[in-house]
Amino acid sequence: MDFGGPTFVIMIIAISTGGWLINNWIRARHGYALEDEWGGKTVRADTKANEALKAENAELREQLTHFADRVKVLERIVTDKSINVAAQIEALRDSEIKEKN
């Protein structure tokens, strides 16, 4: 092999470029910052979006818990006999009247 010929130079460039591509692919796959062509690091663009999504997810989970509790109450009202519901409503009214006096 001629080490001074253009074939050798092209092989070195191809190997270097391939190594750089594989390195960046592995880094991107595992969530590390990527290197640009000048050796600087670039941060993943979706980090701020992830934080916003996590906050929104937590808020939606709280709402879901709240609504699940409300659905349980509504299911209990629907499945109870109307006499029991009427008695509970009257008991609440009586307790409100006693609290006011």
Domain hosting 1: range is 1-44
Query: Using CA atoms, how far apart are residues 88 and 73, in angstroms rounded to an integer?
Result: 13
**pLDDT confidence of residue 39:** 64
> Does 79 lie in the same domain as 60?
yes
The answer on 50 and 21 residing in a single domain is: no
End-to-end CA distance of the chain: 105
pTM: 0.37
Same domain for 54 and 37, yes or no, is no
Number of domains in the chain: 2
Structure tokens at 63: 């709402």
Joined together, the tokens standing for residue 54 give 């996590």
Distance of alpha carbon 65 from alpha carbon 17, whole angstroms = 52
26-67 per-position pLDDT tens digit: 888 887 777 666 666 666 666 677 888 889 999 999 999 999
* 42 beta partners: 34
pLDDT attached to residue 73: 86
Q: How far out from the chain centre does Cα 4 lie?
A: 54
